[in-house]
Structure 1
Amino acid sequence: MTSISNSLSIKHGLSLWCPHSSSLNRTLHSPSLPSGRSFQRRRYVVASSAFANENREFVIVGGGNAAGYAARTFVEHEMADGRLCIVTKEAYAPYERPALTKGYLFPLDKKPARLPGFHTCVGSGGERQTPEWYKEKGIEMLYEDPVSNIDIKKQTLTTNSGKQLKYGSLIIATGCTASRFPEKIGGNLSGVHYIRDVADADSLISSLGKARKVVIVGGGYIGMEVAAAAVGWNLDTTIIFPENHLLQRLFTPSLARRYEELYQENGVKFLKGASIKHLEASSDGRVTGVKLEDGSTIDADTVVIGIGAKPAVSAFESVGLNNTVGGIQVDGQFRTSIPGIFAIGDVAAFPLKMYDRVARVEHVDHARRSAQHCVKALLSSQTHTYDYLPYFYSRVFEYEGSPRKIFWQFFGDNVGEAIEIGNFDPKIATFWIDSGKLKGVLLESGSPEEFQLLPKLARSQPIVDKAKLQQASSVEEAMEIARISLAD
């Protein structure tokens, strides 16, 4: 469940707070935000009887990873208790979303992940933030009530249920929604699944428990991860996608072939370069197959659509969108063009400093880091620009009894010439060299020390002897050549 959107293809402020008082109605002023843009002071009008969030000065909209890590950062600065409100469409406190297409989908006899086991911030080794944690920290949580409208002038939000929320500083962390098939081609049929939240995953698990033939549409992260989980259920599994190979935006054809062969060894079938005409259904409205443009039909009683995601910005278009990469335009402190309004995580179109371009990154690592950077900038004198290093990873076949567990990481940019080292038994590495510099590296089944080396290489972009790297007899030798290049 990872993605990056760029203006180029991947290939080529401290606030004041006033306690609740039903009779209080006064104006608070927040100091100016750090330099970098010209901001007017925000006026926060307290009129507690009119608003559902008891006049919390800080409001986070969204309940994903970014919201959870932002909450933790508020707590670390002792600015959460009685001051922070989180409003979310989800029924659960923020959790580590990548678990949904990995451990959560394991069969029941293979120890699947379940809440509260993967609430934030366990993914980075932090404290598990259960619903009780938010209560203990004095953070107000409004569940299952997404924000539908914002009035920038009045600094108010309206939720689907009609609640009116007041904010002084607002952090938009609404993330993305799954891209869907149109209803006219069967996108809403029974047995057709999208996966973005716990409810989606629970619905899919219910289908997997009764399924015989599963078709997964999409050859990206979701497609690969869901297919690996389906293997654990011993299901007839087919992946359909229009590209020439798996994860085309990152994998080279050679690297993709290695993973495709592994999946095929586990019984997964592939239909590459395929276009879907529509989904077929029985008389009771349940999906029965996938009709392709070439006239053929693939039988299926469960279909999973994993064709990407779209930033959830419909309620915040007035804040200012980036029409190239999508999402809400922000600066290096995650400030929008509206004073006192910020955007973080998947929904933020931010300056990717090290590559000098604007990007929108759908990844848990960015959600964590952007949340922490934003809140520190809001609550302290931090003024340095967010300097993110693109990072992607996947873990598949990790359930009990799996003959081989797969775990890879990629750091940097996949531009230039790709050099592949290793035979995938079990290790393989791909290095991207551009103008003599190491721009990106992907490693499968590396050691902890090797994985720790990857971000250092990608950020430093050392000059590497390409010929020497190509002659390496093993992944270990290639990684050592790259490591030594850091000192040159």
Structure 2
Amino acid sequence: MSPVRRSLMAAVSSSLVSLKHGLSHWCPHSSRLHNSTPALLASRTFHHRTFCIRASSDFANDNREYVIVGGGNAAGYAARTFVEHGLADGKLCIVCKEPYAPYERPALTKGYLFPLDKKPARLPGFHTCVGSGGERQTPEWYKEKGIEMIYEDPVTDVNTEKQTLQTQSGKLLKYGSLIIATGCTASRFPEKIGGNLPGVHYIRDVADADSLIESFKKAKKVVVVGGGYIGMEVAAAAVGWNLDTTVVFPEDHLLSRLFTPSLAQKYEELYQQNGVKFMKGAKIKNLDAGGDGRVAAVKLEDGSTIDADTVVIGIGAKPAVGPFEKVGLNTTVGGIQVDGLFRTKVPGIFAIGDVAAFPLKIYDRITRVEHVDHARKSAQHCVSALVTARTHIYDYLPYFYSRVFEYEGSQRKVWWQFFGDNVGETVEIGNFDPKIATFWIDSGRLKGVLVESGTAEEFQLLPKLARAQPLVDKAKLQSASSVEAALEIAHKSLQAEAKV
């Protein structure tokens, strides 16, 4: 194909894309969809958008056809999808606050925190998209693909009428289509109760993890505040450093948003076998400083005190909406409201990953998902819909997992996976040695399933079960002699419904 013909085809493609960019509809601030998707799709309106076609890497006029704000997983996977469609070279710009190209953020509370003698993960080893088996997108990769990267210069303002972004350094960026992929920020303790004391850590980026590692090198007593993902993963890492570790949280058991009390007990026992202590049902009053100004103790509301020279706060996260509040927020689940194609109410602006409040089609509700799997898939779906004529609605199946105690010398490596919805009654099979499974059953149908230490084949079965939601015989499941036998019962239920 001649250069002239390629140029003409690119211009035609851009014109067609500009029509698609302008499609936008508003998802109501509601927790239910009420079968409204067809009506919403039918009501789409067209808006004119303007674009500038340029030669590769020519950004002298500060006009960008596509701009992604954020440098996390979602941004990296979105970039890869633009490349796959041939629409990145000279057209795509990524603006981020970190000095690094997008990376697989889950590594920060897993392999990155391994002791220095146990082969910890380090960049560039976990740049996207290695987490899903894809090519490692190093800074050189972005240069080779003609993608402009603006590092350490977060966006401070957006003008939706003029289609411009203002960065912290004063740079003014003109965009054609904008994808907001800002993720979340760690929830912090107030300064007045010691939330900013030296030795108090939060983990959201490489700099945070580096700071914690420096504390681990000198630490003797570590207190982890929070019994969720962050708390469990950081505590497991601290064990690898042979540190005196205590986990404090207000709930009755670990990971209360997902684990049943019985399931949590199995994990708590494993941690206790590794020397971790738990303070359950405990609330923090304040963090005390020592004579050197560093954190020295955690005071609880019941008057008790836990000595600590390092404290890690893992109490959740907040969507990083920043200057994008005007784009439209969901006041129920937080984040930026989007439809099933990740379009906001503002034509030409999209939101993906942790920050997006989207329709969870399978369960007919609006939600946000703070997980790498959704970050990857929402990015791919959004960009594919943006640059092609595809209009099928994002149909996500909730998926969560964790991997801990994986460093060399660990007596027991832990890896569980969960698919579906944790609603209804539960059936637990297995004794955690070596594996365990929990099934969630609602109105006779299998809604969710978790397996610890499963095989590759068993893990591949879980999403099939959770998506199909087959009718299962609860009594048969309860009488299963093993995890393998229980999964086989569920599998046969799935096959029986497929034949109907």
State the TM-score, normalized to the length of structure 2. 0.90
**Which of 109, 117, 130 matches 2:138?**
130
Post-superposition shift, 1:226?
0.2
**Which of 242, 245, 252 matches 1:237?**
245
Partner of 2:338: 330
The 4+ residue runs of structure 1 with deviation greater than 6 A are 45-48
C-alpha distance 200-74 of structure 1, shift in aligned 2 (>3 A): same
Post-superposition shift, 1:30?
1.8
Partner of 1:4: none
Distance 2:154 2:239 in 1: 35
Distance 2:111 2:353 in 1: 22
Post-superposition shift, 1:348?
0.4
Post-superposition shift, 1:282?
1.5
Q: Report whether the alignment pairs 1:32 with 2:32.
A: no
Distance 1:282 1:456 in 2: 54
Paired residues for 1:145-156 under 5 Å: 145-156=153-164
Amino acid at match of 1:41: H
C-alpha distance 277-39 of structure 1, shift in aligned 2 (>3 A): farther
Q: Report whether the alignment pairs 1:56 with 2:64.
A: yes
Partner of 2:423: 415
Distance 1:324 1:361 in 2: 13
Q: Report whether the alignment pairs 1:99 with 2:87.
A: no
Amino acid at match of 1:477: A
Q: Deviations over 1:59-103 (max 9, x none)?
A: 000000000000000000000000000000011000000000000
Partner of 1:209: 217
Post-superposition shift, 1:284?
2.8
Q: Which runs of 5+ in 2 are unaligned?
A: 1-8, 24-40
Q: Report whether the alignment pairs 1:405 with 2:413.
A: yes
Partner of 2:33: none
Q: Deviations over 1:413-468 (max 9, x none)?
A: 00000100000001000000000000000000011100000000000000001100
Distance 1:52 1:454 in 2: 50
Amino acid at match of 2:50: R
Paired residues for 1:416-435 under 5 Å: 416-435=424-443
Amino acid at match of 1:415: V
Partner of 2:174: 166
Post-superposition shift, 1:209?
0.5
Q: Deviations over 1:346-389 (max 9, x none)?
A: 00000000000000000000000000000000000110000000
Post-superposition shift, 1:55?
1.9
Amino acid at match of 2:462: L
Post-superposition shift, 1:38?
2.1
Q: Is the 8 A contact 2:53 2:65 kept in 1?
A: no
Q: Is the 8 A contact 1:29 1:42 kept in 2?
A: no
Post-superposition shift, 1:52?
6.9
**Which of 346, 349, 374 matches 1:341?**
349
Paired residues for 1:185-196 under 5 Å: 185-196=193-204
Distance 2:17 2:474 in 1: 58
Amino acid at match of 1:110: K
Q: Is the 8 A contact 2:54 2:91 kept in 1?
A: no
Q: Which runs of 5+ in 1 are unaligned?
A: 1-15, 19-26
State the TM-score, normalized to the length of structure 1. 0.93
Post-superposition shift, 1:28?
11
Distance 1:455 1:232 in 2: 32
Partner of 1:449: 457
Which protein is richer in helix relative to its size?
A: 2
Amino acid at match of 1:42: R
Q: Is the 8 A contact 1:32 1:41 kept in 2?
A: no
Partner of 1:41: 48
SS in 1 for 2:218: coil
Distance 1:325 1:90 in 2: 27
* Aligned-CA RMSD value: 1.8
Post-superposition shift, 1:45?
6.8
Post-superposition shift, 1:41?
1.8
Aligned pairs, number? 464
Partner of 1:247: 255
